[in-house]
Structure 1
């Protein structure tokens, strides 16, 4: 028999590993173009240039291009707007935040031995916020056929009913926990053969709302060593420490009272399913790079970035509330709310490696033009232990593909002023090119050189479309989202 799950003081609990999705892996594999204002104004096309602390993220050889010791600090305003289309209903969500997204310094040591071709070497430390996860997405509309109850029944099918009534929530597997919520929240009913059916009105046209609020970041601290040889060749190495900390709160609401043809006196009338996921961890990667001056004007760069090896932790809190007047007592209000924070075992993620080829042409002291080409194979990502993520890794290999990215940047100098612009195109990481679409971005900026102090400003616009499902299985409908990012960045740099 079903029972109402009472509220009690929140405690911590541990359970078996949580299923991971393709979208979870991509949060760590994809990087925004963040960093200094000069770097952002030129869309990150710095692989053959160097001379900027954020350029070390592309090619670690770039620190040896500096002539003297240098430091910079960067502040940004990060704005995101998300236009949603869910079965013809248009809604919009937005988020705006300020942060310190770059801080670093480089020390240049010259070799005064006239007989050596090793002219100098450099040491640098630089922090960049590689991803800002602050975002808000809101969707609403009428779904013609599918209810969120199908999500819970997809997990419940095959599980004996006594498992959902005779075991405490915290001792169940992740799949059993999802079934437990739907069963004890009266959204699904048992049928023959350990199968379950939806308890909601079968007529369709369900009114639904989905909101997702996320807060957090992914950052990288690079320890850099580079050297110059024969005043023509530059070689560099980065050892990178990665940090991740973000929280996502999603709330899905379904209202049958607002659905055409619904009987307001019987059956389930509304439900709200809330998930709060906190993910945190750290990782390591390394980078190797080289820059060559083919002529005084023409430069070539080549860089390799290893996979990032993450150790990650998830903490999840879920609750389901349902209004069903004729389902039992408690005035028809049911709460499948264990009020537990579930700690899942630490797991590992390996992101794809990255290859960057770069060309740059320097027009004396008047300006420059730079192009970067970046290649990543997203299908090579893996969760570990592999035997516990067989389905997740198979889904990654099946859904994702090799992605090409092109960055173009230009700079023109007028005395102490510098005018900059850039363009970036990144292919979708998905084979179908629709779950996440291609990214297009333009940027611009200006800088002023006071001598020992430099002040730079940049503006970046980026747009990407995506069609990601609200849930991973059972109920896989989702909204078409147009995501637009507008960023204003200010950097103060000074010679040490």
Structure 2
């Protein structure tokens, strides 16, 4: 059966609504709540510690008041090279995977309107914009090893035997229903049944209980290849002003964009020594998530002295409106399973893209406090500290109550420390930074703490500047091979090496 596309709306809206609750997980919401270090090369080289510094178009994303530090019109564009190294440990077997990507990740400008009147209350105001790819999703993880106890059958049996009070799917449905007429939950059972992963307890059409067709001897060889691509983007529209020479205030309206594709291929050798029956399974998934969102920023900076500055900024929650599409197929090597077939390999590929109804995710707000000490024209040292309560992450719909409870109970308040320094030698600038982000999870392991170091240099021309930055950061996390029933995960150490080049022109 080959079909082009199926939209879960209208007649199938009810089943898709319940199905989507099981497609989305707590981890999907956390992905949109997590920050990354992006922006111009100068901003990255100082680990983003610009909350009390300003004077850089990317600084408006930390504290929108920083745009009023500019004394003249300025524009910056940046390109970045990303290298991601993932080392996955799955039941003692380590697998390393590298990926590379290049991205034109930032473009922005600030326009300055000055008031030269002596003793004026408002000395100037600025209008600005900045677009950044706030997160690059280009990544690849391979995990493989021998699982001593659990097989892929747990995933499919979870759906076949029912979730919660729903009850199992009937054998009559598995034998006679069309794939595109089923909810996501029943589709998973359909795929497992047609791959001979489980059998009905009885041959009665009303049967709703199933048992595994995979040998219980254990030691299943499993390999999961995961590939993601896409981005999170943000357009910030900024207004900032300088008052009485000492106070800076600013605000942003932010528009967010996301485009995320996750492709997985899970393979299992069932450790079946017989020459017949189920020998191996391959389960393929591609999920596409897209949509947009909205948020606000407010901030202020005060010159305590000519050298010492302090800043405070607030970033509102982001409200994302998202939609999902998923495509699945499964094949199994099962000699004599299909008496009517001529091949030992049984493939079920509906050729259907299942489109779900849209939904809303609310990410947590963030507070940032900053201090900076400026050594005249020679350089500066800056420190930012941010707090975000990840337990406030939530799906904005009653059908996600169970997942929201999981988010509230498993996530916690997390801080992020950023330290940056810059030293100028005539036309050259030397920069460095440090970044530490606590785990958003109470257990500290599902996603671990992040540690990062940055460095860079700049060269000033008469009316422009060229900046180069290198950033390194590392964190550990669990990478589940499947999302339900089968709970085993690979422990992944992710190391990022990024290079950013920016060109700034001053007018």
Contact 2:6/2:180 (<8 A) preserved: no
**What corresponds to 1:97 in structure 2?**
101
Correspondence 1:79 to 2:83? yes
Q: What displacement does 1:115 show?
A: 4.5
* Distance in 2 of aligned mates of 1:54 and 1:322: 51
* Distance in 2 of aligned mates of 1:421 and 1:113: 38
- Runs of 5+ unmatched residues, structure 1: 1-6
Runs of 4+ in 1 over 6 A off after TM superposition: none
Moved more, 19-28 or 138-147: 19-28
* Distance in 1 of aligned mates of 2:375 and 2:274: 74
**What corresponds to 1:4 in structure 2?**
none
TM-score, length basis structure 2: 0.94
**What corresponds to 1:169 in structure 2?**
179
Correspondence 1:296 to 2:306? yes
Moved more, 235-244 or 199-208: 199-208
* Distance in 1 of aligned mates of 2:409 and 2:483: 15
Contact 1:41/1:444 (<8 A) preserved: yes
Correspondence 1:69 to 2:34? no
* Distance in 2 of aligned mates of 1:231 and 1:45: 23
- Among 3, 9, 23, which residue is 1:9 paired with? 3
Contact 1:201/1:267 (<8 A) preserved: no
Equivalenced residues, count: 485
Q: What displacement does 1:161 show?
A: 2.2
* Distance in 2 of aligned mates of 1:172 and 1:117: 66
Q: What displacement does 1:451 show?
A: 2.3
Q: What displacement does 1:202 show?
A: 1.2
Q: What displacement does 1:255 show?
A: 1.5
Contact 2:481/2:489 (<8 A) preserved: yes
Contact 1:236/1:290 (<8 A) preserved: yes
- Among 42, 46, 54, which residue is 2:46 paired with? 42
Residue 9 of structure 1 aligns to a residue whose secondary structure is coil
Alignment of 1:21-420 (within 5 A): 21-157=25-161, 158-159=167-168, 160-191=170-201, 194-256=208-270, 259=271, 262-329=272-339, 330=341, 331-385=343-397, 387-420=398-431
* Distance in 2 of aligned mates of 1:234 and 1:203: 68
* Distance in 1 of aligned mates of 2:193 and 2:54: 59
Contact 1:219/1:242 (<8 A) preserved: yes
Contact 1:117/1:230 (<8 A) preserved: yes
Q: What displacement does 1:305 show?
A: 0.3
Residue 389 of structure 1 aligns to a residue whose secondary structure is helix
Q: RMSD in angstroms over aligned alpha carbons?
A: 1.2
* Distance in 2 of aligned mates of 1:300 and 1:30: 25
TM-score, length basis structure 1: 0.96
